[in-house]
Amino acid sequence: MKITNSDQDPFSIRADAHAILVQDEHQLTRSGEKANSFLKGNLKKELNSTKFQVRKRSTLVYYTGMDSPARIICVAIKKEDPYSNALREAAFTAVRTACSHGLTTLVLAFDPLKDAETQAVAEGALLASYQYLRYKTSQEKNPGLSTVTIVTRKLQPDALRIAEVNYRAASLVKDLVNEPPDSLTPSKFAKEAEKIGQQNNLKWRVFSPDELEKMGAFAFLSVGQGSKEQGRMVHLTYEPKKKSKLHVALVGKGITFDSGGLSLKPEKAMEHMKSDMAGAATALACVRAAAELQLSIKVTALLMTTENMPGGGANRPGDVVRSMNGKTIEITNTDAEGRLALADGLTYVQTLKPDYIIDIATLTGAQVVGLGRLIGGVMGNNEDFVQEVTKAAKESGETLWPLPLFEPYREMIKSDIADIRNASGIPEAGTIQAGLFLSEFVEHPRWVHLDIAGPAWQERDSGVYGKAASGFVVRCLLKLLSSLAKAQ
């Protein structure tokens, strides 16, 4: 789908449909009033006669009886703070509605004033076009729109460029997470990352199991002991042409399938565990996007990719493993494997001396219970950095909820026979317990942990996140990286 920007009168642009916004009490924006005037007041009459409800994703398609505009798609919107979030959802709804009517060209006459608003409209439109059809044998593909034109008061090419990069990053995450686990094994994931590194002039290296063993990454390697295929650690780095003062490291949990190991998950809980590598997919997408945007900061992505299976060599509850930083971990639950993988990843990434570390992980079921599927959890060792990440989430239309690394709860992860245990068995504050576990492996720079267990996979259609793989937190991280680059 091609997305363009125009500063012309929206109704001078020929298209199958023009979309306008309808606010409370059927108030119209500037372009909507223009459309109503053009239609001699009949548009508002239609809204009133049908008792159009202004609620999220409500639409009305008005047939004008003319060649152009042939249809007016009215999209409900509530003015939110920031307004760009509502515009993103409205654009998503308008494109989905146009596609359901078999249209090929659409004008979005939403009257965005700021670059951030135009970017949000473009993101919503692009996200609505996403389809994952690789394994469909029937011809189910919706041909979709060929062109979407966003009308603004002035041309904003940078806003469209950023929106397109953000969309490609989210689409990469969605594609990888949606991929079946027999097709995306740890080695295949590493090869895909290697290919992306080569295509985008990134520095990259894939650490083999033998190399990881020599490095002492026994916590990470223990996760894959029950699988036919051992894990890989993939290190990719984007460096700007001009040497940067700042270095940001993204560490992603990449469990390509999580059966729970010997602590086997129930059947229903295992159904979508191919999504347990969403954190690593997000890190990979963000380092590629940093290169595409040519950000002025150094960005590293570390993908801890492995598989958690209940084979004969699998971790057992009661085993003790030694991590890369020397700490010993008693394994009490083999389904708390992501934190084992991240422990060694966090230890290794500190040897690169980054200024900031962000780990991204589908880590705990407690996050899903506590915050659901539209809010991620965030915690860290530096309150200012936590607030900076939370602000970036809000500005990009995503939601992260700060949780405390509450020191008294550290008692829960103490072990009788090792330094710490990977799971306490205490059904309280599970997300915080996992964050405290990870904090044992972070010694110096500013660090934030993002638990996206719920938002990474959507059980039902959830607006701009769609259904299944969501691409959650990509926009937030790219906003954060851009802000850090500008502020240095």
Cα 390 from chain centroid (whole Å)? 14
Q: Would strands 468-469 and 457-458 be described as parallel, antiparallel, or unpaired?
A: antiparallel
- Residue with tokens 């389904």, as numbered in its chain: 335
The values of phi and psi at residue 316, to 5°, are: -115, 145
Q: How many CB atoms lie within 10 A of CB 60?
A: 17
- Per the CB < 8 A criterion, the answer to whether 346 and 438 are in contact is yes
C-alpha–C-alpha distance, residues 139 and 148, integer Å: 24
Task: Write down the catalytic residue from 265, 327, 391, 410.
Answer: 265
Sequence-ordered strand ranges (E) for 191-273: 203-207, 232-238, 247-258
**Residue 144 gets which letter from DSSP?**
-
- Per the CB < 8 A criterion, the answer to whether 446 and 385 are in contact is yes
Beta bridge partners of 62: 72
Q: Concatenate the DSSP letters of all residues of 318-384 into one string.
A: T-EEE-TTS-EEE-S-TT--HHHHHHHHHHHHHTT--SEEEEEE---HHHHHHHTTS-EEEEES-HH
Q: Is 203 a catalytic residue?
A: no
C-alpha–C-alpha distance, residues 167 and 148, integer Å: 15
- Residue with tokens 């729970």, as numbered in its chain: 260
- Cα dihedral 454, 460, 464, 465 sign: positive
Task: Write down the catalytic residue from 339, 421, 446, 475.
Answer: 339
b (16+ CB within 10 A) / e for 73-84: bbbbbeeeebbb
Which one, of 160, 162, 184, 159, lies nearest residue 173 by Cα?
Answer: 184
C-alpha–C-alpha distance, residues 318 and 299, integer Å: 38
Q: Is 410 a catalytic residue?
A: no
Give the strand order in the sheet containing 376-380. 203-207, 232-238, 298-308, 247-258, 356-361, 446-451, 376-380, 400-402
Enumerate the active-site residues.
265, 339
